[in-house]
Amino acid sequence: MSVSKKRQVDLKSLGILLQNDKEHFSIRFLSRAGNFTVTELSSLNILAQKYGRGYVGLTTRLQVEIPWIKNEDVEKVMEEAKELGLRHGGTGKKVRALVSCKGSICLHGNIDTQEICRQLEDKYFGTETPSKCKFSVVGCPNNCAKANINDIGVMGKTVPEYQEEKCVGCGLCVKACRQKALTLKDRKIIFDKELCVECGGCVRACNTKGFIAKEVGAEIFVGGRFGRGMRIADSLGKIFKEYEIIPMIDKIMEHYREIGEPGERISATMDRVGKKEFLATVLNKEL
């Protein structure tokens, strides 16, 4: 039996999506910065066995979906999920499920990506916006979670500073630099800053403080998107300390909600008003 259009729309706003057979639903359950507890995984297993076909699917935004839920079972799954402490959702003109890499524990991480993502989720997930709005938090320029093709992206950075008097010419920093921004000549480092992506690898590799961290924080990108239309986000052009990241995003979100037109993602708003004006406004905005 086909599902009415109204029911499809009502359930979609809850993260319950009609499948292409027009009879079954997939229910999207939400992680916290890409993590599920073992208890939550056990609960997902129970629901998938009882109401689905015994498996779950991972989404591209680090959530989990249980497919093959019968129309008549949807409310039962919702009620049992609530009792098990599971959350579902993630669609509509609102802030979508936030994505974070494992930068908090990764060897390359420069910022606490998981904690930043959790705080942003608590503040923004599911809140109304002119159009869908996606956040991503990555710990380094490896950019595993694609910060610059999200509406708002955060990328951890460590800006290195070379201290020649502390350098012993061991070459460990050269081996650590994947960008080949460093070369060793006469046991001294030649540092090509144009090639540096501020990953912090040289700082972590150096045991003598030949390289130190001049700045540690994050670059913030605005206005990216990917899919039916692609736009690489624009950088705000500076490194923000960890405690400055969320207040800066607050300014971006406030401005977007002030001037964004219905159905307009941040990228479209920036294209309409001019990216320079948009970025200048949020950088100078007082909350």
- Residue ranges and CATH numbers for the domains of the chain are 5-83 (3.30.70.3340), 99-284 (3.30.413.10)
In tens, the pLDDT along 85-124 reads 999 998 899 999 999 999 999 999 999 999 999 999 999 9
For residue 197, what is the DSSP state?
-
In tens, the pLDDT along 183-200 reads 999 999 999 999 999 999
Residue type, 246: I
% of residues, the chain, pLDDT over 90: 95
For residue 94, what is the DSSP state?
B
Residue type, 20: N
The answer to whether 144 and 101 have CB atoms below 8 angstroms apart is: yes
Question: Average pLDDT, stretch 211-221?
Answer: 98
- At 271, the pLDDT band (50, 70, 90 cuts) reads very high
Q: How many CA atoms lie within 13 A of 269 on its CB side?
A: 28
In tens, the pLDDT along 122-162 reads 999 999 999 999 999 999 999 999 999 999 999 999 999 99
Q: Report pLDDT for 90.
A: 83
Query: What is the full DSSP assignment across 51-70?
Result: HSSS--EE-TTS-EEEEEEE
Which is nearest to 220 in space by CA: 103, 126, 111?
Answer: 111
Q: How far, in Å, CA of 273 to CA of 284, rounded?
A: 16
Average pLDDT, the chain: 96
Q: Report pLDDT for 286.
A: 79
Q: How far, in Å, CA of 197 to CA of 236, rounded?
A: 16
Residue 216 has pLDDT above 70, yes or no: yes
The helix (H) or strand (E) run that includes residue 156 is strand 152-162
Q: How far, in Å, CA of 273 to CA of 50, rounded?
A: 51
Q: What is the pTM of this model?
A: 0.94
Most distant CA atoms of the chain, gap in Å: 78
Please state the φ and ψ torsions of residue 250, each to the nearest 5 degrees: -55, -40
Q: In sequence order, which ranges of the chain are alpha helices (DSSP H)? A: 5-12, 38-51, 74-83, 113-124, 172-176, 201-205, 242-259, 266-273, 275-284
Residue 287 has pLDDT above 90, yes or no: no
CA angle (107 as vertex; 103, 108 as ends), nearest 5? 65
What's the burial of 21, exposed, middle or buried (CB within 10 Å: 0-12/13-18/19+)?
exposed
CA distances from 1 to 66, 94, 121, 180 (A): 20, 31, 37, 61
Residue 1 has pLDDT above 80, yes or no: no
Question: Average pLDDT, stretch 8-21?
Answer: 94
Structure tokens given for 205: 């590799």
Residue type, 48: A
Residue type, 269: T
Residue 285 has pLDDT above 90, yes or no: no
What's the burial of 244, exposed, middle or buried (CB within 10 Å: 0-12/13-18/19+)?
middle
Q: Report pLDDT for 153.
A: 98
% of residues, the chain, pLDDT over 70: 99
Which is nearest to 83 in space by CA: 49, 59, 47?
Answer: 47
In tens, the pLDDT along 47-77 reads 999 999 999 999 999 999 999 999 999 999 9
Residue 166 has pLDDT above 90, yes or no: yes
Q: How many CA atoms lie within 13 A of 83 on its CB side?
A: 8
Which is nearest to 62 in space by CA: 121, 10, 18, 19?
Answer: 121
